Structure 1
Amino acid sequence: MNKFEQLGLNESLLRAINDLGFENPSEVQEKAIPLLLEKDTDIVALAQTGTGKTAAFGFPLIQKINPENRETQALILSPTRELCLQITNEIKLYSKYIKGVNTVAVYGGASITEQAREIKRGAQIIVATPGRMQDMINRGLVNISKIDFCILDEADEMLNMGFYDDIVNILSTSPDDKSTWLFSATMPQEVARIAKEFMRKPLEITVGHKNSGSSTVSHEFYLVNARDRYEALKRLADANPDIFSVIFCRTKRDTQAVAEKLIEDGYNAAALHGDLSQAQRDGVMKSFRGRQIQMLVATDVAARGIDVDNVTHVINYQLPDEIETYNHRSGRTGRAGKLGTSIVIITKSELRKISAIERIIKQKFEEKTIPSGIEICEIQLFHLANKIKDVEVDHEIDSYLPAIYEVMKDLTKEELIKKMVSVEFNRFINYYKKNRDLSAQKAGSERRESFASNDGGSGNGAVRYFVNIGSRDNFDWMSLKDFLRDTLGLGRDDVFKVDVKEGFSFFNTDAEHSEVVLETLNSMHLEGRRLNVEISKNDGRDNNNRRDHNGRSGGGFKRAGGDRSTDRNARSERRGESFGGGRSGARTQSPAGRAPRRSSDSTGSRKPRRS
C-alpha cells in the first residue's frame, strides 16, 4: 500500500504520485500534508533543502484549489528563476489528472507581457520570484487581492538575497484572511519578523532540530595556505575519482575564473552565475544533470535552483559571507536519505568560522589533510581495479579477441594485470612524485576536540589499511569508523584517519592492533561479500616536512571532455587572475610535466586520449 494514501490525498493526486514513483512520504510531507488538508491555517515549516518541501505544500494546495474558478487563488514565492521553474514543473506534474488547474511561472529574464497574458487566460496558481512579482503588481498586470493561499518557499534565502521589502509589499497587497505557508531551512530574525507581522498564530513543524544540518551529510575542513587553495581543490577532486560536485565561490568573478582554470586543466567543469544568459544556464544545467559536467562551480544565488540527485560532494572553495548560507550549500548533497560530504577549504584566518558553523548546524567538522600524491595514486589504482572488475563487456570485441590473445600469449596472468594497471598508475606516480604536499599546519589545540574523534591515535607506528567496502555499501567516514570500532572491539580513538571512497576505503590503527584487524576483518562477510583488508603502503600521515624545491606544485588527474560547447558559451572574457599563486599548469608546463589528460563518456568511464 502506498503510504501517501494514508495522508488524506484525493484519487487524482494519488494517481500522479504513483506515476512519479513516490512510495513513502518524507518527514516534512508526513507532518505537513494532513495538517494543511485538515484546516485553513498559517504554518511555519522548518526543514532542510532536499527534504521534499515542494510536495509538502504542493499536494494540499492543489487539492484545495477550485479548478472551475479561473481567478488566481494561490501565490508561491521562491528566490530564483530556476527554483521558480522547478516548482512550476512539479506542480504541473502533481496536478496533471485534475482538469482545469493552470500554473504559470513569473520570473525575470523573460517577457513580462507574455507572462501577464498567460495569467489573464486563467492561472489559479502563480509561482513567482519576488522582484518580478512586485514589478507586475506595480504595473497592474496581476491581481492577488483575492488569493486564498500564499506560500513562501526558501523564505530565509529570499530574505538573505535582499527581497525583504518586496515580500512585505506583496504580502501587504494580498488579503488578510488568506492562509500563509512559510517553508524555510533556517529561522533567522527576518524570517521570524515576517511570521510575526503577517501570520496569524502559525503552527510550527520542525524536521530535525531547528536550523540544524542534515544527518546524512558529513562535514570536513582542509586547512591550506592561501596560495594553495586552487591546487587543494584539484587534489580533492583527484582523491575522489567518482566526484559529482557543486563548488561554491562568493562572487561571479571568482566562479568564472575557477571554472575556467579547471577546464584548462582538463576537468569536466562549468560555471553557473548571474552573468550567463538563460540559454547558457539551461545548457550548463542540462550537462550537469546528464553528468557531462562533474564539477559545477556556482554562486549561492545561481545554485538555488539546483535540484540534482546523487551529488556526492559540496565543496566550499570560499565560505559564504553569511554563515547561515552554509546550511543551504550543504543541502545540495545527502538528499533522499543518501550520504553526502560537505568540504570546506580554509586558511588559518578563517578557522573561527568553523566553530560558528558548528553551532548553527549542530554537527562537528572533521579536520582532514589534503591527500599526498602517493595517496592519490593509490586511490586511483584501486579505483581503476574496481572499474575493470565491474565493467560490462561489449561483445562487439569478441571478433578481435583471437588477435589480442596472440599478442598477449607470452604474458602470465600476473604480468598482464601488472602491465594493464601500470598503463594508468605509471602516469600518476610520475606526475605526483615531484609535487609537494599542500596541507598547512594543523589547526592547533583550539580545534583538537572537534577532530579528535576521527584523527585520534598516537600516530606512533600507525598502520594504514585498505578495505573493500565504501559509500556504495552506505558507509560514510563516521558510520564506517563506528562499524570498525565495534567489530574489532577497539576504543573510541583507536580507529582514525578514515577515508571512504565509492567501492573501497582506508583507515588507520596503531601497529599493536594490526593482527586483530587483519584476522577479524578478513574472516568476515558483509551482505554476502567477503571483506578484504590489506595493509596500505601509504600511512596517511602528514608529509609537510617533505618538499621538492625543484618540482612545480599542483596538477592532478585530468578530466577532459564533457559538453565543451556549453563550457565555451559559459565563459566570459578571460581574466589574467591567479588562484593559488600562479598561472595554471596547463599554460606553463611542458607536456612531460602535466598529468595525463582524460576524456569521459556519459557513463563516467574514462579512456586515454590518443596522442
Structure 2
Amino acid sequence: MTPFSTLGLNQPLLDAISDLGFENPSEVQEKAIPILLEKEKDLVALAQTGTGKTAAFGFPLIQKIHAESRTTQGLILSPTRELCMQITNEMQLYSKYVKGLNIVAIYGGASITEQAKKIKKGAQIVVATPGRMKDMIGRGIVDISKIDYCILDEADEMLNMGFYEDIKDILSNTPQEKSTWLFSATMPKEVAAIAKKFMHKPVEITVGEKNVGATTVQHEYYVVGGRDRYPALKRLADANPGIFSVVFCRTKRDTQRVAEKLIEDGYNAGALHGDLSQNQRDLVMNAFRKKQIQMLVATDVAARGIDVDDITHVINYQLPDEIETYTHRSGRTGRAGKSGISMVIVTRSELRKIKAIERKIKQDFVEEKIPTGIEICEIQLYHLARNIKETKINNEIDGYLPAINDVLEGIDRDELIKKIVSVEFTRFFNYYNKARDLNSGTAEDKGRSGGNDGSVRYFINIGERDGYDWMSLKDFIRDSLGLDKDDVYKVDTKGSFSFFNTDAAFTPLVLETFSDLNVDGRRINVEVSNKPDRGGGKRKRRDRKNSGGRGRKSSSSFKGKKGKSGHGRSKKFKGFV
C-alpha cells in the first residue's frame, strides 16, 4: 500500500501519524488527501462509516490552516454531540505538533458560555453540531464570514435528522469563495441538492460503489410472527455468546420497553433515545464503549454518534422507513476491516422491504431460521465447556482441596464433568428443551417437504480463537476435503468451535478425512452435529460468520432474575448471554 509520506503531508503531521501508529492510509484517505492538498477545490467523497473519513479531511485541513492567525478558518459540521467531540479529539491528536493551533467543539447539552469563552480566545477550526452552531451565529458569538474551508461530515445523516434548513442557513453565512468538502456514506437527493446549491464543480470520489452497503457486512433476515419479535431477539442473542450489538427500534417507547425487558431477563442491556438527559446518554455510551453493555437498544437518531469499531452484530428489531437509514444501521458493524452481521427480524408482510433494500444496497440477504431451543443448548454447552477450560485457577482453594476430595470421593471423571456442567447448564436447558419453533414459514418454506433436504451439519473443534473466520474456515475445510467452493456451506464460527454443512453424499469423505488430521500438532475433530439443519435446501446460501468471542467478555456466571427471564437465569451466571 501507499505510505502516508507519499501523499504530500508535512513533517508535523507525519510525526503525529507515526505516534498514532498509522502505517498506511485507507482508500478514502489515499484518494482524498492528495486532491485536497493539491489546490483549492470542492470535493464530494462517498464512503461508508468507519473507513477513516476524519483523517481524510482532517490532515489536509490542518496543513492548510494558518496557525499564527487567530481567525476562524475552518468549520466542520457533524450530526451529533458524540461525533462532534470525537472529531475534535482526533483532530487534536493529528495536530499535536502544530504549535498555536486551537480546535474548539461546540454542541448542545453543554454550557454555551464556556464554549463562547473558548471561541473568543481564538479558534482556527470549529467543530460543531448544526443546531448549536446556528444558535451561536445568531448570538454573534461565532464569525464564519471569513472561513476558507467548510466540511460537512456524515452529510446524509445530518440531513436525515432534519438539519437541512439549519445547514442552508449556516452555509449562507460563509463566503462564496471558500472550499467545501462534503463527506457522506450515501447520496440521497437532499445531499445532492446541498452540493448543487453550495458547491462549484466538485470533484467526486467514491470508495466502493455509490449507495452500496459495506462488503464486510453479512445481511440476514428472520421471519417470525408479530408477537414473537422479542422472543426471537433473545434467541439470537443466546445463539451468539460473544454478541456485542446495537439493537434498533423505530420509536423511543419501543426502545425503552425492549431494553427494560432485556435487563429484566438478565442481559447486559441499555437504552439510548431522545428522552434521556445528556448525562444519562453519556453514562450509557461510556458503559457500552467499555462493553459493560453488550446489547445497546437505540433509536436511529440517538445512535447517530455511535462510533465503535468492534460491534459484532446490528439487529434490526424493526425495519426503518427509509432504506438509507438501514445502510447507516448496518454500517455500525463490519468497520475498520472487520466482518460483521446485520440481522433483520421481519414478519411475512414485511418481506417486500427486504427486496427493496437488496436492490438499493446491491447485496443479497441470507434467509436464516431463528435457532431452536436444542440448537441454542448445544452452542451454549460448548461455550460453557470452553469457559471452564479457560478459567484461571484460584490457588486460594488449595487448603480446601482435601475436604473437597472427601466430598467428591467415589465419583469418576466423566460423572464429575457431567455434574460440573449440569450445575450451570440445567436451568438453561430446562427453559429451552421444549421451546416452540418461532419461525414463520415463507412461501419458499411451504415448498419443502418435512425440512429434510439431504444436508448434513457438522461440529468442528476449531473457531475464532484459532484465527479463523467463516471465510478462512470454509477454505480450510474445502481444501482439506478437495471439494468445490459451493460444496461446503453454512459455515458458522464460534469462539473455539464451529459448524458447517455439506450434502449428505459427502459425509463418509468428511468423517474419513478428519478421522486422523492434525494441524500444528493439534488433532482436528469433526462429528455429525445434533444441531439440525436450519433450512435452505440445496440452495447454497452465502455463509455467515457469528462472532463467538470477539468484542465481548465471556464469563462463567449467569446474571438475572429467576422466574422473570423464562430461562431462570441465576444471578451468578451471565456468560450465556
Same fold (TM over 0.5): yes
Alpha-carbon contact 2:222-2:346 (below 8 Å) kept: yes
How does 1:424-463 map onto structure 2 within 5 Å? 424-442=424-442, 444=444, 459-463=452-456
Range that drifts further, 367-376 or 273-282:
273-282
**Residue matched to 1:379:** 379
Q: Structure 2: which amino acid aligns with 1:378?
A: E
Separation in structure 1 between the aligned mates of residue 363 and residue 212 of structure 2, nearest angstrom: 8
The structural deviation recorded for 1:362 is 1.5
**Residue matched to 2:507:** 514
Separation in structure 1 between the aligned mates of residue 172 and residue 465 of structure 2, nearest angstrom: 50
Separation in structure 2 between the aligned mates of residue 219 and residue 340 of structure 1, nearest angstrom: 9
Separation in structure 2 between the aligned mates of residue 310 and residue 592 of structure 1, nearest angstrom: 28
Separation in structure 2 between the aligned mates of residue 14 and residue 599 of structure 1, nearest angstrom: 50
Alpha-carbon contact 1:266-1:558 (below 8 Å) kept: no
**Residue matched to 1:560:** 559
The structural deviation recorded for 1:400 is 4.1
Separation in structure 2 between the aligned mates of residue 430 and residue 292 of structure 1, nearest angstrom: 28
Separation in structure 2 between the aligned mates of residue 83 and residue 266 of structure 1, nearest angstrom: 31
Instruction: Select the residue among 527, 536, 558 that pairs with 2:529.
Output: 536
Q: Structure 2: which amino acid aligns with 1:207?
A: V
Deviations 1:518-543 (A, max 9, x none): 22245445676543211111223469
Which SS does the other structure have where 1:173 is aligned?
coil
Deviations 1:365-412 (A, max 9, x none): 101000000000000011112222333334444444444444444333
How does 1:497-508 map onto structure 2 within 5 Å? 497-508=490-501
| Cα separation, partners in 2 of 1:364 and 1:73, compared to 1, 3 Å | same
Separation in structure 2 between the aligned mates of residue 592 and residue 84 of structure 1, nearest angstrom: 39
Separation in structure 1 between the aligned mates of residue 572 and residue 178 of structure 2, nearest angstrom: 55
| Cα separation, partners in 2 of 1:511 and 1:377, compared to 1, 3 Å | same
How does 1:3-14 map onto structure 2 within 5 Å? 3-14=3-14
Separation in structure 1 between the aligned mates of residue 345 and residue 559 of structure 2, nearest angstrom: 24
**Residue matched to 2:318:** 318
Alpha-carbon contact 1:219-1:343 (below 8 Å) kept: yes
Separation in structure 2 between the aligned mates of residue 243 and residue 496 of structure 1, nearest angstrom: 22
**Residue matched to 1:60:** 60
| Cα separation, partners in 2 of 1:171 and 1:329, compared to 1, 3 Å | same
The structural deviation recorded for 1:117 is 2.1
Separation in structure 2 between the aligned mates of residue 334 and residue 266 of structure 1, nearest angstrom: 27
Q: Structure 2: which amino acid aligns with 1:531?
A: I
Alignment pair present for 1:285 and 2:255? no
Alpha-carbon contact 1:375-1:540 (below 8 Å) kept: no
| Cα separation, partners in 2 of 1:482 and 1:319, compared to 1, 3 Å | farther
Q: Structure 2: which amino acid aligns with 1:514?
A: T
Range that drifts further, 374-383 or 319-328:
319-328
**Residue matched to 2:553:** none
**Residue matched to 2:95:** 95
Range that drifts further, 526-535 or 239-248:
526-535
**Residue matched to 1:328:** 328
| Cα separation, partners in 2 of 1:196 and 1:385, compared to 1, 3 Å | same
Q: Structure 2: which amino acid aligns with 1:99?
A: K
Alpha-carbon contact 1:217-1:339 (below 8 Å) kept: yes
How does 1:228-243 map onto structure 2 within 5 Å? 228-243=228-243
**Residue matched to 2:568:** 595
Structure 1 spans left out of the alignment, 5+ residues: 449-454, 544-556, 562-585
| Cα separation, partners in 2 of 1:525 and 1:146, compared to 1, 3 Å | farther
Separation in structure 2 between the aligned mates of residue 45 and residue 98 of structure 1, nearest angstrom: 26
Alpha-carbon contact 1:4-1:24 (below 8 Å) kept: yes
How does 1:40-189 map onto structure 2 within 5 Å? 40-189=40-189
Structure 1 stretches (4+) deviating beyond 6 angstroms?
A: none
Range that drifts further, 463-472 or 55-64:
463-472
Deviations 1:414-448 (A, max 9, x none): 232222222233222211123211111035389x9
Structure 2 spans left out of the alignment, 5+ residues: 537-555
Q: Structure 1: which amino acid aligns with 2:570?
A: R
Alpha-carbon contact 2:266-2:569 (below 8 Å) kept: no
Alpha-carbon contact 1:134-1:170 (below 8 Å) kept: yes
Alignment pair present for 1:352 and 2:320? no
Which SS does the other structure have where 2:172 is aligned?
helix
Deviations 1:292-344 (A, max 9, x none): 11100011111111112311111011111111111111111111111111110
**Residue matched to 2:548:** none
Which SS does the other structure have where 1:444 is aligned?
helix
Deviations 1:65-104 (A, max 9, x none): 1111111010000111111111111111211222211111
Which SS does the other structure have where 2:323 is aligned?
coil
Which SS does the other structure have where 2:45 is aligned?
strand
| Cα separation, partners in 2 of 1:203 and 1:403, compared to 1, 3 Å | farther
Deviations 1:2-36 (A, max 9, x none): 93223222222223223322222211112112222
Separation in structure 2 between the aligned mates of residue 44 and residue 57 of structure 1, nearest angstrom: 11
Range that drifts further, 239-248 or 432-441:
432-441
Range that drifts further, 408-417 or 250-259:
408-417
Which SS does the other structure have where 1:150 is aligned?
strand
Q: Structure 1: which amino acid aligns with 2:284?
A: V
| Cα separation, partners in 2 of 1:399 and 1:205, compared to 1, 3 Å | farther
Count residues in correspondence. Answer: 557
Deviations 1:494-528 (A, max 9, x none): 44443332332222233221111122245445676
**Residue matched to 2:551:** none
Q: Structure 2: which amino acid aligns with 1:308?
A: V
Q: What's the TM-score, normalizing by structure 2?
A: 0.90
Alpha-carbon contact 2:43-2:204 (below 8 Å) kept: yes
The structural deviation recorded for 1:64 is 1.2
| Cα separation, partners in 2 of 1:24 and 1:523, compared to 1, 3 Å | farther
Q: Structure 2: which amino acid aligns with 1:511?
A: A
How does 1:250-261 map onto structure 2 within 5 Å? 250-261=250-261
Separation in structure 1 between the aligned mates of residue 104 and residue 182 of structure 2, nearest angstrom: 20
**Residue matched to 2:461:** 468
Alpha-carbon contact 2:368-2:534 (below 8 Å) kept: no
Separation in structure 2 between the aligned mates of residue 146 and residue 358 of structure 1, nearest angstrom: 45
**Residue matched to 1:270:** 270
Which SS does the other structure have where 1:300 is aligned?
coil
CA RMSD across the alignment: 2.8
Alpha-carbon contact 1:269-1:295 (below 8 Å) kept: yes
Separation in structure 1 between the aligned mates of residue 411 and residue 445 of structure 2, nearest angstrom: 55
Alpha-carbon contact 1:241-1:383 (below 8 Å) kept: yes
Separation in structure 2 between the aligned mates of residue 505 and residue 237 of structure 1, nearest angstrom: 17
Range that drifts further, 366-375 or 468-477:
468-477
